[in-house]
Amino acid sequence: MTIAYAWEMATRPILPYDFRDSARLIHSALEGYQQEADQSLGLDRQRALARELEEVTGQLWQRAGALADRFTLVEHSDNLEAEAEARNIALKGLASTLNPLLTSVVGRYGQDSYGLSALRRWVPGLADAGKLRGLDAATGDHML
């Protein structure tokens, strides 16, 4: 079964990446962190972008499916191959951006400490956001 899975992934014209759940998890995590930190964190812009990401990833999934369907309906052409390659590059780029955001404190190139409690949550880089509640930003307490 593993070989069949690997073959399927290697031969699909469009990578089957579906970021709709990732976008939903990011949006939900940001909403939770905003509530924990009260208004101390100021995530309004990020939450709006996360809502937009949810919409865009839904559209991306539909368009990727439509492009994949064109491979079964139409003879392969250079234009179709180039469009698929561009789509796959964009999908891989999105994966390398969203995955570290969802699962890492240190980001794409660092290594999180084993057993780090923040890693139990989505968007763990903000896991300590609740500590900001009640702190006065004017005093510099947020910098701790």
Asked if 27 and 53 touch (Cβ cutoff 8 Å), the reply is yes
Residue 32 CA from chain centroid, whole number: 17
Residue type, 28: S
For residue 142, name the pLDDT band (cuts at 50, 70, 90): low
Using N-to-C axis directions, what is the helix angle for 20-37 and 44-73, rounded to 10°? 170
Question: Tell me, what's the pLDDT at 73?
Answer: 77
Does 134 map to a domain?
no
pLDDT recorded at residue 105: 92
Kindly report which listed range (3-12, 48-57, 78-87) carries the lowest average pLDDT score.
Answer: 3-12
Mean pLDDT is lowest, of 3-12, 41-50, 62-71, 117-126, for: 3-12
**Nearest to residue 88, comparing CAs of 100, 104, 74, 71?**
71
**Is 122:98 a contact under the CB 8 Å cutoff?**
no
N-to-C CA span, the chain? 50
Domains identified in the chain, total number: 1
84 or 140: which leads in pLDDT: 84
Whether the per-residue pLDDT at 131 is higher than 70: the answer is yes
Tens of pLDDT along 112-121?
A: 888 888 989 9
Q: In this structure, is residue 137 part of a structural domain?
A: no
Give the residue among 66, 59, 96 at the shortest CA–CA distance from 80: 66
Tokens representing 37 are 């930190």
Residue 33 lies in domain: 16-103+116-129
Whole-number pLDDT of residue 143:
63
Residue 144 has pLDDT above 70, yes or no: no
Residue 72 lies in a domain: yes
Q: With cut-offs at 50, 70 and 90, classify the pLDDT of residue 138.
A: confident
User: Is 142 within the bounds of a domain?
Assistant: no
- pLDDT(5) > 90: no
Q: Which pTM was predicted?
A: 0.85
Q: What percent of the chain lies above the pLDDT cut of 90?
A: 56
- The secondary structure element, H or E, covering residue 8 is helix 2-11
Q: C-alpha dihedral over 77, 83, 89, 91, to 10 degrees? A: -120
* Residue 80, domain member (yes or no): yes
**5 found inside a domain:** no
Judge whether 11 lies within some domain.
no
Residue 64 has pLDDT above 60, yes or no: yes
User: Is residue 140, in this structure, part of any structural domain at all?
Assistant: no
